[in-house]
């Protein structure tokens, strides 16, 4: 049987299909440009020779239901050798915002859908397309359970002193204004992998996890649980990102509105889509930025320096919060692939027992890579993230728990 993980965006559907028994990736793909015009599906399947064949198809797709029907059709026409293509154990959905309602994954029923709808004001760009895919798959395959796995759930262990803002308390009581955090599945996954690699139970580990990509966030984990994280009410707070500004003086919004005459909605759009690395140097791909910096582009150089400086500040603050740090983990597209970002984010931290080995840091690795020096008291690990695998595991656990079956694959 199969476990399908679905990440539905406003005009796209990303998916990954796992074998239930060992979580081998059977298929994965991305359907883009849903809506007017021709959509493009890039689909990969496991072949009999244990490599992956890529299939690209196009079709006019007007909505997500048609998109999911298209994906199921292609999966049926290009089966893997492992099992029957339509035997599904469950569908796991990435849902961005669970508010304070959802502290763990849930099997989706009408009440869960209503509650996710109520949370749309907290994630107006993300929760609606997540719901579209949930509804479509419930209609297409009513016999298969759907599970919602929330980006915010992992951070619900934060104490009040970490998640409250210094605002009038009625804003929290009446409007749920607080820090929630995101990228929970990624932070949780790499924490588990660190525990496995180091041979230390999660409940004994203190970690600083750095998910660095176009979206970026840092988390402080005490005993494997999140006690602080850089993103807040929305994913805009915290580290500098591809197009998001990260931490910002709140008065900037009002100042820009007065000076430019732009509406708050327009400024919000700028802070989310035109700021961050893109705002500094006109680019949001770190690979391109590093190439331009090497060619002497001053703004590209500044973007990298600012990006790493913000990360370093969070490492220091989270070290103070934790008191003891066993390991710092780099993950995400930038965290896994940019040796320069890793190096500059940790420079000058030897007094904290954080010391990077330049040679190790430059090595390529497809698994866990240790990059600390011999003198470093803190382990420094590069761990490739796999949010879809974590969502699949949580989907299996949730369905089995609901059915009274104990245990999940120890994978």
Residues labelled as active-site residues: 151
Report in angstroms the alpha-carbon separations of 375 from 258, 352, 358, 363.
52, 11, 13, 19
Provide the token pair at 283: 């680019």
Q: How far apart are CA 125 and CA 119, in angstroms?
A: 11
Q: What residues form DSSP beta bridges with 29?
A: 15, 43
- The sign one gets for the Cα dihedral 329, 333, 337, 343 is negative
Q: How far apart are CA 241 and CA 232, in angstroms?
A: 14
How are strands ordered across the β-sheet holding 216-222? 225-229, 216-222, 206-212, 327-331, 379-382, 369-370
């Amino acid at each position: 049987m199969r476990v399908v993980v679905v990440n539905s965006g406003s005009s796209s559907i990303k998916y990954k299909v796992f074998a239930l028994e060992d979580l081998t990736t059977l298929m994965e793909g991305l359907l883009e440009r849903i809506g007017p015009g021709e959509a493009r599906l890039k689909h990969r399947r496991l072949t009999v020779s244990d490599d992956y064949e890529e299939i690209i198809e196009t079709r006019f797709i007007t909505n997500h239901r048609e998109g999911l029907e298209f994906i199921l059709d292609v999966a049926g026409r290009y089966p893997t050798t492992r099992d029957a293509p339509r035997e599904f154990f469950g569908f796991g959905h990435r849902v961005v915002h669970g508010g304070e309602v959802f502290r763990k994954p849930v099997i989706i029923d009408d009440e869960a859908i209503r509650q996710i709808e109520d949370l749309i004001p907290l994630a107006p760009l993300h929760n609606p397309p997540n719901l579209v895919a949930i509804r479509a798959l419930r209609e297409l395959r009513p016999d298969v359970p759907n599970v919602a796995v929330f980006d915010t759930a992992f951070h619900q262990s934060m104490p009040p002193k970490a998640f409250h803002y210094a605002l009038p308390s009625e804003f929290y009581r009446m409007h749920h204004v607080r820090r929630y955090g995101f990228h929970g599945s990624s932070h949780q996954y790499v924490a588990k992998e660190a525990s496995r690699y180091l041979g230390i139970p999660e409940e004994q580990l203190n970690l600083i996890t750095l998910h660095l990509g176009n979206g970026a966030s840092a988390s402080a984990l005490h005993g494997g649980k999140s006690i602080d994280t850089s993103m807040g009410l929305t994913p805009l707070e915290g580290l500098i990102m591809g197009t998001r500004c990260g931490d910002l003086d709140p008065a900037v919004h009002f100042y820009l509105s007065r000076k430019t005459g732009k509406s708050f909605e327009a400024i919000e759009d700028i802070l989310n889509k035109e700021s961050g690395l893109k705002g500094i140097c006109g680019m949001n791909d770190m690979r391109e930025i590093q190439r331009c910096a090497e060619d002497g582009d001053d703004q590209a150089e500044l973007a990298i320096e600012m990006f790493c400086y913000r990360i370093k500040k969070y490492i220091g603050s989270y070290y103070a919060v934790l008191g003891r740090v066993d390991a710092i983990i780099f993950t995400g597209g930038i965290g896994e692939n940019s040796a320069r970002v890793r190096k500059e984010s940790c420079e000058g931290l030897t007094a904290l027992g954080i010391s990077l080995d330049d040679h190790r840091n430059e090595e390529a690795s497809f698994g866990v890579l240790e990059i600390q020096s011999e003198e470093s008291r803190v382990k420094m690990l590069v761990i490739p993230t796999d949010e879809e695998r974590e969502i699949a595991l949580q989907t299996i656990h949730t369905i089995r728990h609901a059915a009274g079956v104990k245990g999940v694959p120890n994978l």
